[in-house]
Structure formats: structure tokens, C-alpha cells
Structure 1
């Protein structure tokens, strides 16, 4: 069960971390999510940033989308290689997407980016 936790220490929070992701990371675009990946970092932990702008919707909608993205990544986290940072940016269409469609798109983007060890 500990492998499925998503502790605060696994979150990207600093602006400099997000800037580094934007500068050095590789992006993969979907209809609901934009996935950015930065691999082979010296730090052994997997760190994740979730971005939902006001363009997605009001606070209730943004929080729902963020919870869904967090759950999708939390379940896949044990399969992600150590030393990887990733960000998920919600697109406007994510506001009306179902959890299943977002999860399917996440899996597709993760496979395209060669992010998941057991899945790709």
C-alpha cells in the first residue's frame, strides 16, 4: 500500500522546478492533458506537478480535474522510473471529460513518452 501513496514531498512546487521542466522537458499533447517529462535526474524520487489554469473552469471544476489527475498518476507512480519529473497540464476539454477518458489518454501519453516501465 505504501507504493500507492502520493506524499507532498513528491510534488513539484517551486516555480524554478516548473521552469526547468518547460526548458528541458519533453512534451506530449493530448485532447485533455499535456504531459511533460524530464528523465534521468540524479535524484532517485519521482516528482509530479499538476497544473489547472482558470481557463479550465471555476474552482470546483479545477479541483475535480486536479483530483482526477492526481489519482491517475498516484496509481501509475510505482511503474515510473526513478529520477523522473513530470507535469500534467489540464486542457479546457478536461472539464467535461470522464475519469475513464482521462485515464485512457494518460496511458496513451505515458506510452508515447516511454514513461511507464511495465506498460510500454
Structure 2
């Protein structure tokens, strides 16, 4: 089960203290938090990605893709961003980008953990 980020202070903490990871077309700022039961995700999709219809399509698809992969994410706060490179991506292409991003997140977490 994926939660949402609902408070401004979490977004602020993510921008100041978060660990940044990127993969072609997607990026993530994350803060692990063992007090949470699951991952909480917010999405940042700017106008440069496309019109409202395109941005909303991508957001819906990302929600579904991350929900189906929720077991791969450690409890914490995740801000997922989309760059214009990801606009126009098919479901399969976006799924591959999400898988690549999750792999980068895992590598970064494992590398920074002593």
C-alpha cells in the first residue's frame, strides 16, 4: 500500500535533506523513515512535460506502476519527478523507467548504508 505526501513540511524536508536519484526521464528525492509502515509518494510533473491531459495521464500511470511495485520500496517519503524525456512514453516504456529508477534507488540506499 502506497501512501501520499500531504504536508508542505515533508516536501520542504525532501528538497533540503533528501537523497537525489535519477534515471532517464524520472528523478526521485527520498527520505527513509522507519517510523512509517510503507512508502509515501508525491509527484512533481511540471508544465514542460506537456499539457494537463498528458501530465495527468503520466501521474495516473505512475501511481499504478509504483503501487504494483510497492514491495520494492522501503518505508519513507519519495518525491517522484518527471522530465520532458518521459512525455509520450507508452505504458511499457514508463514501466521500464520506473524499474530503472527503483534500481537506482536501491543502489543508492545500499551504497550509503554502512
Shared fold (TM-score, shorter chain, > 0.5)? yes
Unaligned 5+ runs, structure 1 = 116-120
**Is 1:23 matched up with 2:16?**
yes
Distance 1:52 1:106, change over 3 A: same
Matches of 2:93 and 2:21, distance apart in 1: 16
Helix, strand or coil at the partner of 2:50: coil
> How many equivalent pairs are there?
107
The partner residue of 1:72 within 45, 65, 69 is 65
Helix, strand or coil at the partner of 2:35: coil
Unaligned 5+ runs, structure 2 = 108-114
Q: Which region of structure 1 is more displaced relative to structure 2, 104-113 or 60-69? A: 104-113
Matches of 1:107 and 1:74, distance apart in 2: 12
**TM-score, structure 2 normalization:** 0.82
Q: CA deviation at 1:42?
A: 2.3
1:1-120 matched pairs, under 5 angstroms = 3=1, 6=2, 10-81=3-74, 83-114=75-106
**TM-score, structure 1 normalization:** 0.78
Task: Give the structure with the larger helix fraction.
Answer: 2
